[in-house]
Amino acid sequence: MPGPARTAVLRDAIGLGVAVGLYGVAFGAAADAAGLDPWQALAMSLLMFTGASQFALVGVLGAGGGAAAAVGSALLLGTRNTVYGVRLAPLLAPRGLLRRLGLAHWVIDETTALAVAAPDRGLARLGFLAGGATIYAVWNATTLVGALGAGALGETAQAALDAVVPAAFLALLWPRLRAGADEPAVARRVALGGAVVALALTPFVPPGVQVVAAVVAVVLAGRPREAA
């Protein structure tokens, strides 16, 4: 396993892990605003560990949506991790039920991106584990900080957190998105379509429904098409 490549994978994994993990502060604050106590927020981060679903759930609850819409949004967003797991299983090749369960808990957008972007299987496993461990530790610690100190988190800090995470994730994925293959262009168009669906429905539907509709639209757009 080449030294420079290993160093680069660890740098990306830990750097992205810290950036994403820090956003747990915002989730803790959002959970507090939605009426959850700090230990409920921490339990969600420990047991769910999928930020989009967590934000969807507390966002719908905080906006006055019902439990069914909140849970439905969270579950539907979380189903993408199953697709990631199918992609990662042959790459990580975990042995034994306990190892499979442990690795499955860390299957999220960022760890999948780290593993898939690695140049070989050994480095893919390293990136997945280093990124997963870093995100899990920092995310849970900052969730508690955010829930306990929600009132002290000002708008400037919120805006900074909102900018850091997508910037770090885009920095990791941008080289792959700019590749000349057809798939990145299709993925960009599908993602833009999902965003348009969500924004268009926001003024007209209960909180959380636009997220579900956007995910369904993306899934339908991404279906393989039969040859004519």
Residue 227 has pLDDT above 50, yes or no: no
CA distances from residue 156 to 41, 153, 210 in whole angstroms, order as listed = 22, 8, 27
| Mean pLDDT, residues 118-122 | 87
Query: What does the alpha-carbon distance between residue 203 and residue 206 come to, in Å, rounded to a whole number?
Result: 8
Q: Is residue 76 part of a domain?
A: yes
How many structural domains compose the chain?
1
pTM of the full structure: 0.69
- Structure confidence at residue 109 as a pLDDT band (50, 70, 90): confident
Selected residue with higher pLDDT from 83 and 210:
83
| Interval 6-58: pLDDT, tens | 888 898 899 888 888 888 888 888 888 788 889 999 999 999 998 888 888 88
| Interval 56-87: pLDDT, tens | 888 788 777 777 888 887 887 788 788 888 88
Q: Is residue 188 part of a domain?
A: no
Q: Is residue 217 part of a domain?
A: no
Q: Is residue 64 part of a domain?
A: yes
Selected residue with higher pLDDT from 5 and 139:
139
What percentage of the chain exceeds 70 in pLDDT? Answer: 68
- The owner of tokens 């000349």 is 180
Residue 192 has pLDDT above 60, yes or no: yes
Q: Is residue 137 part of a domain?
A: yes
Q: Is residue 158 part of a domain?
A: no
The neighbour count for residue 116, using CB atoms within 10 Å, is: 16
Q: Is residue 183 part of a domain?
A: no
- Burial string for 22-50 (b: 16+ CB within 10 Å, else e) reads bbbbbbbbbbbebebebeebbebbeeebb
| Interval 80-93: pLDDT, tens | 788 888 888 888 88
Query: What does the alpha-carbon distance between residue 114 and residue 97 come to, in Å, rounded to a whole number?
Result: 23
Residue 172 has pLDDT above 50, yes or no: no
Which domain covers residue 85, as residue numbers?
3-153
- Structure confidence at residue 144 as a pLDDT band (50, 70, 90): very high
Comparing 35-44, 80-89, 103-112, 151-160, which segment has the lowest mean pLDDT?
151-160
Q: Is residue 102 part of a domain?
A: yes
